[in-house]
Chain A
Amino acid sequence: MQTPNRLKPFYENLVFEKDDNRMIVNFGPQHPSAHGQLRLILELDGEQVVKAVPDVGYLHRGIEKMAENMIYNEFLPTTDRMDYIAASSNNYGFALAVERLLGIEDKIPRRAEIIRVMLLELNRIISHLFWLATHALDVGAMSIFLYCFREREFAMDLMEDYCGARLTHSSIRIGGVPLDLPKGWLEDLEKFIDKLPENIADYEGLLDKNRIWLMRLEQVGMLSKEDALNWGCSGPTLRGSGVAWDIRKEEPYSIYDELDFDVPVTDSCDSYGRYKLYMQEMRESAKILRQLIPMYKESSPEIVANVPEYISAPKEQLMTENFALMQHFVLVTQGMRPPVGEVYVATESPKGELGFYINSQGDPYPYRLKIRAPSFWHTSVLQEMLVGTYLADVVTIIGNLNIVFGEIDR
């Protein structure tokens, strides 16, 4: 029994030793494979987990509270800080929710939509490469980490060339995109997607039949279809359990209905199946990117919707028309005032269903903004998924679920 004093505080009512052969292990929040600030309290019987209690909140910044105190455009860069591995997908989720609330979804110029989808798919590749790198590192394959980070660097360079940032992009605006593609960007992109399938084949060559990889992933982290639905899993985690549900395909937003791509699904329900999905999804993203290049070349150069009521008018109008300048001034100083109502918009982020619920009361500030972050729901599964597994598999399962703490704690 601990005797608490100021130097040795009582450790949150945890008794680490018991009379039976059960042991309580505190995992994290600073564990290298906790993927951020996950703290797990594990009750072990020998090496088997009997009870797992995830403890989150170490990265809580109150993003939803901040949203209530910011105008819509002001909040957009804050969304970067949620899923910081694929920041553009958060930007897009928020921008789309506001656009649907404003009713201007069909007024977004085609070129803006094409650039958005390019950025989204590039972000998906970045996120998946990062996932594979860290997951393989957790499981013990160091070389994969280095190879994946090399390719991720090329993708990040593309992001940097487009928006100047590597991690917190803010590369999408409500109503369009801030910039057109820079000169030579498409050629760089083409080079990247030409090379990517070869690289993926290399990773698969290293991992697919690797005995250690197979032993650590096959039949580990089993998640049945019923459980996956019941716990609100989405994205590759849900598709790994045999549910063919991809929002890009089923409820197409942006220009996804014009694009030809497949949604890989597996019913193996284990970590290995999910690993194969991630690899396949990267190939599909590369396929989408390839289709977008000719589409971009055919599009006309507008990149921001022309709705001066809500979104600042193009520069030429601001400089020549008095009223447009007045509207712009009001939009910058006070912010747009969307219609009164509620909207829930779900998009397929690299991690799963990213939803934004906005309750607008007609003020420049959202009355309530709730973010449905996929990782939040994936972390809550841990309390059931980890029971009965071995301590060594805990690391595999956490890594495999692809959780990012910026998004869980918000």
Chain B
Amino acid sequence: MRAYQDRKNLQKKAYYSDRFFKAPPVPRKDVSTDEIFANDLKHLKSLVKIKDSYIELDQLVVIIEPKDICKVMLSLKQELEYDFLSELSATDFLAKSNQFEIFYQLLSMSKRKRLRVKYMISQDQAIDSIMHIFKSADWAEREMFDMFGIVANNHTYLKRLLMPEDWVGYPLLKSYPLEGDEAAKWYEVDKIFGKEYRDIIGPEMRDSATINIKDTKNFARVKHEVPYGEKYSGKPTDFGNYQEDGGVPLISKFKKENSKELNSRK
């Protein structure tokens, strides 16, 4: 029987794990241990439903419902002085629970505190854009769309940012292999030469670590190179002492016997 491969998570996994090993959690603290965070949370609780909240490594983490995000962000920015959006992105938990986790990393310069707002959405769900609250969310949401395919409602220009516009698939999904999928193999061939050249050129080699020992075209034989397309003779390449015929103006001929190798820098 063929070995089972988890199609939903194609990323690299540990080849061996101790059966009895369980990684401990990062220590979490209760919100009441920090006065400023406790007040912030109290204010947020009066506005929306807070699913969970805790302090993880000196940062407040608030888990909310997806529909409340604009309300929470507006309140955080205008009333609670969290006026700097450091980061916004998603994490793919599709293999585990068929959900994405969206996180917003905020900073309050007046309070010197950092806070993270999180919520979960299902795969086909769109999120509300916070571009009208933080302008910096513009590119961050575009990048998220580019990498995960998560659509942000009310975004004014939701287009791929880093990948080409006609790229197929979303690269940061766990189900997307590291070296790219089938469409990625043909992307450049189709774009440069056209689909009709697929048979002649063949798919792009996308695994940069592969060395094909029979290949004489792609520099796979270091110090055993042969001219392009020729058969490998089995002998190491002899470059000899290369000298330009007739010499080069202003450059004296290199004589190996007169040269000296230094043991240390001058």
Taking Cβ atoms with an 8 Å cutoff, the residues of A that contact B are 6, 56-57, 60, 62, 64-66, 68-70, 100-101, 103, 227, 229-232, 243, 245, 250-251, 334-335, 337-344, 346, 353, 355, 357, 359-365, 367-368, 370, 372, 376-377, 379-380, 384, 409-410
Contacts and interface: CB of A to CB of B under 8 A. Distances in A.
B86 interface: yes
A250 B24 CA distance: 31
A6 B172 contact: no
Q: Which interface class (under 10, 10 to 19, 20 to 34, 35 or more) fits B?
A: 35 or more
B168 interface: no
B138 interface: yes
Contacts of A368: 91-92
25 contacts: A56-B162, A57-B163, A60-B163, A64-B147, A65-B176, A68-B12, A69-B12, A229-B83, A231-B135, A232-B85, A232-B86, A250-B112, A334-B16, A335-B14, A337-B21, A340-B23, A341-B56, A355-B105, A357-B103, A359-B91, A365-B11, A379-B139, A380-B138, A380-B139, A410-B162
Given A335-B14, A340-B24, 17 more contacts: A56-B162, A57-B160, A60-B163, A62-B171, A103-B27, A229-B84, A337-B23, A341-B26, A341-B56, A341-B57, A344-B59, A346-B114, A355-B87, A368-B92, A372-B87, A380-B139, A384-B135
A305 to B, nearest CB: 18
A392 to B, nearest CB: 26
Describe B's contact surface by its main secondary structure. Answer: loop
A65 B25 contact: no
Contacts of A64: 147, 172
Contacts of A100: 57
B136 interface: yes
Contacts of B86: 232, 344, 346, 353, 355, 372
Nearest to B28: A341
A230 B136 CA distance: 6
B161 interface: yes
A2 to B, nearest CB: 18
B162 A367 contact: no
B227 interface: no
Interface string B132-172: 00111011000000010000000000001111100000011
B13 interface: yes
A57 B134 contact: no
Closest 8 pairs between A and B when the two form their complex, measured CB to CB:
A362-B23, A341-B26, A232-B136, A57-B162, A380-B139, A69-B12, A368-B91, A60-B162
Contact of B139 (A251, A338, A359, A377): A377
Interface of B: 11-16, 21-28, 56-57, 59, 61, 83-87, 89, 91-92, 103, 105, 107, 109, 112, 114, 116, 134-136, 138-139, 147, 160-164, 171-172, 174, 176, 178, 194
Contact of B116 (A103, A334, A344, A353): A344
Given A69-B178, A340-B25, A341-B25, A230 B105 contact: no
A357 B161 contact: no
Contacts of B160: 57
Given A340-B24, A346-B86, A365 B13 contact: yes
Contact of B164 (A57, A232, A355): A57
Contacts of B103: 342, 357
A70 B11 CA distance: 10
